[in-house]
């Protein structure tokens, strides 16, 4: 069976996959086709059914596990599968976890680490709150299973807990560095609880989807309600601490336009917002470098999330230099042509007018000065237009090669 991570252009594809998306489209010629996305534990890939699309569509549904055959082809800088046959498998013929991406760390191991962070909390009220939440068997089970997101960062089973543990480690280091400027217990509590609402925002029994509550309320509101309920069960929990902690949950996205109803206004809330963003971005880049497609150039495909290409490191393996040269050749050709024409124009032998040739040199040269170059640009302020092979890689930065 072909794993999605291993599918390359021109591969024959035979395997069992989970259908995470399914819709019928119409081609430019007016012919209906079936657009699906297939997934397994190693990744996702687009697939198309071009023949008898409507009839084939009736044979399976979104979130079904299917047996599929097809052929991998290049498409928009990536690879997709042109499907020759696809049919749904019966319930019981597969194990759903085999088709969902999951953290490389066992959940039991991560929960032990979470408990150790809670044990290190000194504030009795905050510690009581964290124990009330994470010793709740239902919450504990879902928190150790949930993804941190549907697609952006840590989008796999156990991703939420993995994300929180990474942030706990960062929070302790930052609090240790800044000392009394930061309330470490409050910061660690905010880290642990900032995404707690995601246990109900997303469904993750099959392909990751937003629940009704996730779409209508969002994880911030869900999280506030959960924390409020647990605080109410703890006798004597200080109102001011509750307000500070809930402010961290409300503001952790950092900006109103990013979904937070409040911007961070306390030291701990500001630190949480930046650490959350840092961990999400670092993990996203790590995934691109380690699990993304490798074309031998040492670069990822263009990433819309970051609005740039990401450097993966020096290409490795036999033939990588040739692969890099072949990939760059179509882009380099027009650039090199323009460069050659410019150099020829600048360094060609200047044509001396007949009236001056008889004197052998210019008036300036006769006074001991060097001759004025004949190639001086008539419009020195003119900007050379990038060649057709050039690429505006980042904002304000011109890249000649991808």
Give the CATH number of domain 4-92: 2.40.50.140
325: tokens are: 């040269």
SS3 percent helix, strand, coil of the chain, rounded to 5, is 45, 15, 40
pLDDT the model gives residue 295: 72
Ranges of the chain whose pLDDT falls below 50: 321, 324, 354-402
Report the distance separating Cα 285 and Cα 313, nearest Å: 12
CATH 1.10.3210 domain range(s) in the chain: 107-289
pLDDT the model gives residue 224: 97
Give the CATH number of domain 107-289: 1.10.3210
Cα-based distances in Å from 323 to 134, 180, 182, 286, 336: 51, 54, 51, 23, 19
pLDDT the model gives residue 382: 38
pLDDT the model gives residue 376: 37
pLDDT the model gives residue 160: 94
pLDDT the model gives residue 60: 92
pLDDT the model gives residue 330: 60
pLDDT the model gives residue 229: 96
290: tokens are: 């380690």
* Ramachandran sector of residue 69 (left: φ over 0; alpha: ψ -120 to 50; beta: rest): beta
Cα-based distances in Å from 18 to 66, 96, 208, 233: 6, 8, 11, 42
Report the distance separating Cα 268 and Cα 126, nearest Å: 14
Report the distance separating Cα 230 and Cα 130, nearest Å: 9
CB 7 within 8 A of CB 79: yes
CATH 2.40.50.140 domain range(s) in the chain: 4-92
Report the distance separating Cα 171 and Cα 193, nearest Å: 13
Burial of residue 219 (number of CB atoms within 10 Å: 0-12, 13-18, 19+): buried
Averaged pLDDT of the chain: 81
Each residue's pLDDT tens digit, 120-179 = 999 999 999 999 999 999 999 999 999 988 777 788 899 999 999 999 999 999 999 999
Each residue's pLDDT tens digit, 223-250 = 999 999 999 999 999 999 999 999 999 9
Q: What are phi and psi of 367, to 5 degrees?
A: -95, 10
């Amino acid at each position: 069976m072909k794993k999605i991570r291993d599918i390359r252009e021109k591969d024959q594809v035979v395997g069992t996959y989970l259908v995470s998306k399914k819709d019928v489209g119409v081609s430019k010629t007016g012919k209906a086709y079936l657009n699906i996305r297939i997934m397994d534990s190693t990744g996702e890939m687009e697939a198309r059914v071009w023949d008898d699309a409507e009839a084939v569509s009736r044979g399976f549904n979104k979130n079904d596990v299917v047996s599929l055959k097809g052929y991998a082809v290049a498409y928009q800088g990536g690879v997709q599968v042109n499907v020759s046959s696809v049919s749904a498998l019966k319930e019981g013929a597969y194990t759903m976890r085999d088709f969902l991406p999951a953290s490389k760390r066992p959940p039991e191991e991560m929960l032990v680490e979470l408990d150790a962070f809670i044990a290190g909390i000194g504030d009795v009220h905050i510690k009581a709150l964290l124990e009330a939440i994470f010793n709740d068997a239902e919450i504990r089970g879902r928190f150790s299973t949930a993804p941190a997101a549907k697609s952006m960062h840590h989008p796999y089973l156990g991703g939420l807990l993995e994300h929180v543990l990474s942030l706990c480690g960062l929070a302790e280091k930052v609090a240790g560095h800044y000392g009394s400027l930061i309330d470490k217990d409050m910061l660690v509590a905010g880290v642990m609880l900032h995404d707690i609402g995601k246990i109900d925002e997303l469904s993750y029994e099959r392909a990751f989807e937003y629940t009704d509550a996730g779409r209508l309320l969002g994880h911030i509101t869900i999280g506030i309600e959960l924390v409020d309920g647990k605080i109410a069960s703890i006798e004597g929990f200080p109102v001011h601490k509750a307000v500070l902690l809930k402010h961290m949950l409300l503001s952790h996205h950092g900006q109103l336009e990013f979904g937070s109803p409040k911007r961070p206004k306390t030291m701990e809330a500001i630190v949480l917002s930046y650490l959350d963003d840092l961990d999400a971005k670092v993990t996203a880049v790590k995934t691109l470098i380690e699990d993304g497609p490798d074309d031998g150039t040492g670069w990822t495909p263009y990433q819309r999330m970051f609005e740039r290409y990401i450097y993966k490191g020096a290409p490795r393996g036999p033939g990588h230099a040739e692969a890099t040269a072949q990939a760059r050749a179509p882009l380099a050709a027009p650039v090199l042509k323009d460069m050659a024409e410019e150099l020829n124009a600048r360094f060609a032998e200047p044509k001396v007018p007949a009236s001056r040739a008889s004197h052998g040199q210019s008036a300036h040269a006769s006074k001991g000065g060097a001759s004025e170059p004949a190639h001086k640009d008539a419009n020195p302020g003119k900007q050379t237009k990038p060649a057709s092979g050039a690429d505006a890689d980042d904002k304000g930065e011109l890249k000649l090669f991808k």
